[in-house]
Structure 1
Amino acid sequence: GGERDGDGQLVVKAPVAGGKVNGEDRGNEGALQGGGGDGGGRRRLQIVGFCFAAFILCNMDRVNLSIAMLPMSEEFGWGPSTKGLVQSSFFWGYLLTQVAGGVWADRMGGKVVLGFGVLWWSLATVLTPVAARAGLPTLLLCRAMMGVGEGVAMPAMNTLLSRWIPKQERSRSLAFVYSGMFVGSIAGLSCSPFLISNYGFESVFLLFGSFGLLWGATWYFAGASGPEEDERVGEREREYIVQSTSTRAPAEEIPWRRLLGRSEVWAIIVCHFCHNWGTFILLTWMPTYYADVLGFDLFESGFYSVLPWISMAIASNAAGYFADTQLIGKGTSVTFTRKLMQSIGFMGPAVCLSLLSSVNSPQEAVALLVISQSCDAFSQSGLYSNHQDIAPRYAGVLLGMSNTAGVLAGVLGTYAVGVILEDGSWDQVWTVAVGLYVLGTVVWNAFSTGEELEEFKA
Structure 2
Amino acid sequence: MATMTELSPTAGKTKHSQDTRVDESLVPKKVLSFRSTRYGIAFIAHFCNFILMAQYAAINISMVAMVNGTNHQSQFNGSTESLPLDALGGSNDAPNSLPAEGSIFGGQHALWERWGPPRERSRLCTLALSGMMLGTFAIILLGGIISQTLGWPFVFYIFGGIGCVYCLLWFVLVYDDPVSHPWISVTEKEYIVSSLAQQVSPCKQPLPFKAMLGSLPLYAICLCSFSHQWLVTILIVYMPTYISSVFNVNIRDNGFLSAFPFIISWVTGILGGQLADFLLTKNFRLVTVRKIATFLGNFPSSVLLVALSYLTPDYITTMTLLIVSCGFTPFCQSGIYINALDIAPRHSSFLMGASREFGYTAAILAPTVSGFLLSQDPEFGWRNVFLLLFAINLSGLIFYLVFGDAVVQDWAKDRKLTRL
TM bucket (normalised to shorter chain) is 0.7 to 0.9
> Residue 103 of structure 2: which of 137, 140, 152 is its match?
152
Is residue 270 from structure 1 mapped to residue 274 from structure 2 by the alignment? no
> 2:182 maps to which residue?
231
Other-structure match for 2:303: 351
Which residue number corresponds to residue 140 of structure 1? none
Identity %: 25
Give how far 1:216 is off.
0.7
Aligned to 1:397: 350
C-alpha displacement of 1:206: 0.7
Mapped pair 1:62 → 2:13 = no
**1:342 partnered with 2:294:** yes
Q: Map Cα deviations across residues 353-377 of structure 1 (whole Å, 9 max, x no partner).
A: 1111114223322211111121111
Q: Which residue of 1 aligns with 2:272?
A: 319
SS at match of 1:331: coil
Q: Is contact 2:99-2:357 (8 Å) kept?
A: no
Q: 1:70 to 1:364 in 2, by over 3 A?
A: farther
Per-residue Cα deviation, 1:315-358 (whole angstroms, up to 9, x for no partner): 11122111101x10111100111111111111111211111111
Q: Does 1:431 align with 2:382?
A: no
Corresponding residue for residue 176 of structure 1: 127
Matching of residue 422 in structure 1 with residue 378 in structure 2: no
In structure 2, do the counterparts of structure 1 residues 85 and 324 end up closer, same or farther at CA, with 3 Å as the change threshold?
closer
**How far, CA to CA, are the matches of 2:28 and 2:351 in structure 1?**
30
Say whether 1:453 aligns with 2:406.
no
Deviation, structure 1 residue 233: 2.4
CA distance in 1, matches of 2:116, 2:312: 44
Q: Aligned partners of 1:30, 1:440: CA distance in 2, in Å?
A: 39
Taking the aligned partners of 1:353 and 1:88, their CA distance within structure 2 comes to: 26
CA shift in 2, pair 1:90/1:411, >3 Å? same
CA distance in structure 2 between the partners assigned to 1:282 and 1:68 by the alignment = 17
State how many pairs are aligned. Answer: 378
1:389 is displaced (CA, Å) by 1.0
| Alignment partner, residue 244 of structure 1 | 195
Q: 1:41-86: CA deviations, max 9, x gaps?
A: 6221221121111001011112222222222233335852540563
Given that 2:301 and 2:328 are in contact with CA atoms closer than 8 Å, whether structure 1 keeps it comes out as yes
Partner of 1:439: helix, strand, or coil? helix
Three-state SS of the structure 1 residue aligned to 2:90 is helix
Paired with 2:151 and 2:203, the residues of 1 have a C-alpha distance of 46
Contact 1:183–1:309 (CA under 8 A) maintained in structure 2: yes
- Mean Cα deviation higher: 406-415 or 81-90: 81-90
Q: Show the counterpart of 2:23.
A: 25
Q: 1:454 to 1:232 in 2, by over 3 A?
A: farther
CA contact (8 A) 1:88 1:410 kept: no
- Cα distance, 1:333–1:364 mapped onto 2, change above 3 Å: same
1:366 to 319, 325, 329: 319
1:331 to 261, 276, 283: 283
In 2, Cα distance between the equivalents of 1:451 and 1:202?
Answer: 48
What secondary structure does 1:293 align onto?
helix
Single out whichever of 272-281 and 285-294 deviates more from structure 2: 285-294
Q: How does 1:269-288 map to 2 (within 5 A)?
A: 269-288=222-241
In 1, the alpha carbon distance for the partners of 2:182 and 2:99 equals 31
Cα distance in structure 1, aligned partners of 2:188 and 2:33:
4
TM-aligned CA distance change 1:336 to 1:209, over 3 Å: same
The answer as to 2:394 corresponding to 1:443 is no
1:292 and 2:238 are equivalent in the alignment: no
Q: How many angstroms does 1:453 deviate by?
A: 2.2
- How does 1:93-172 map onto structure 2 within 5 Å? 144=96, 146-172=97-123
The letter for the 2-side match of 1:339 is K
TM-score, normalised via structure 1 length: 0.77
Q: Is the 8 A contact 1:52 1:176 kept in 2?
A: yes
- For the 8 Å contact 1:80–1:419, the answer to whether it is kept is no
Superposition misfits of 4+ residues, deviation over 6 angstroms: 38-41
Name the CA distance, whole Å, in 2 between partners of 1:419 and 1:75.
25
Q: Which of residues 47, 62, 75 is equivalent to 2:41?
A: 47
Per-residue deviation at 1:27?
A: 8.3
Q: 1:147 to 1:342 in 2, by over 3 A?
A: closer
CA distance in 1, matches of 2:357, 2:263: 27
Equivalent residue, structure 1, for 2:17? none
- Cα distance in 2, alignment partners of residues 294 and 329 from structure 1: 46
Partners in 1 of 2:39 and 2:371 — Cα distance? 41
What is residue 152 of structure 2 aligned with on the other side? 201
Please provide the CA RMSD for this pair: 2.3
One-letter amino acid of the counterpart of residue 310, structure 1: I
Q: Structure 2 CA distance, aligned partners of 1:344 and 1:395?
A: 23
- Whether the 8 Å contact between 1:273 and 1:409 is mirrored in structure 2 is yes
**182 and 409 in structure 1: CA distance in 2 versus 1, 3 angstrom threshold:** same
